[in-house]
Amino acid sequence: MQRREFCVHACQAASLAAFGSLASACSGSPSSPSSSAPALPTLTGTSASGAVTLTVDASSPLATVGGAALVQSGAGNFLVSRSAQDAFVALTAVCTHEACTVTGFQNSRYVCPCHGSQYATNGSVVQGPATRSLQQFATRLAGNVLTITL
């Protein structure tokens, strides 16, 4: 084998190796989950007049402090957690990275199933690739009815 031929083959092998590592690094997609966080329990809310309401009774995943749920409504999807006996935090469930719906919850963190972004229950980014916090909405509990103001 001549020196020139050796160099050509060596460059081809190096190029294939580099391409292979790039292809595997880019293989994630918004539809292929990269996280195995347990799914949040899902509740249905009613939307009307710029608000979403839902009942929080003893059987609700939001009945105890530290509980969290994905609330689905005609106005959108929301991540809701109970932060104190009479206080809740409501966030948009739309990941700020690539707009996937955040559905996982593990170690008191919301986890996006698409690329693994993690958010604290106040919406701040704990782990990327997301760089922006989730939008927060005002909440009010009256009796056992929770209202999320949009």
pLDDT score of 45: 96
For domain 42-149, give the CATH number: 2.102.10.10
pLDDT score of 59: 95
Strand ordering across the sheet containing 87-92: 42-44, 68-73, 76-84, 87-92, 136-142, 145-149, 51-55, 46-48
Residue showing tokens 């009774």: 57
pLDDT tens-digit map of 21-68: 433 333 344 444 445 789 999 999 999 999 999 999 999 999 999 999
pTM greater than the 0.95 cutoff: no
Are 90 and 107 spatial neighbours (Cβ–Cβ below 8 Å)?
A: no
- 132 — pLDDT class (breaks 50, 70, 90): very high
Q: What is the arithmetic mean of pLDDT over 117-133? A: 95
Burial class (CB within 10 angstroms; exposed 0-12, middle 13-18, buried 19+) of 98: middle
SS3 13: helix
Going from N- to C-terminal start, the domains of the chain cover 1-29, 42-149
pLDDT tens-digit map of 71-109: 999 999 999 999 999 999 999 999 999 999 999 999 999
- Give the span between the Cα atoms of 142 and 49, in whole angstroms: 17
Helix H or strand E encompassing 113: none
**pLDDT beyond 70 at 3:** no
Phi and psi, residue 58, nearest 5°: -60, -25
First vs last Cα of the chain: how many Å apart? 72
5 CB-side CA count, 13 A:
2
SS3 88: strand
Residue 72 is encoded by which pair of tokens?
Answer: 């689905």
pLDDT score of 37: 87
SS3 58: coil
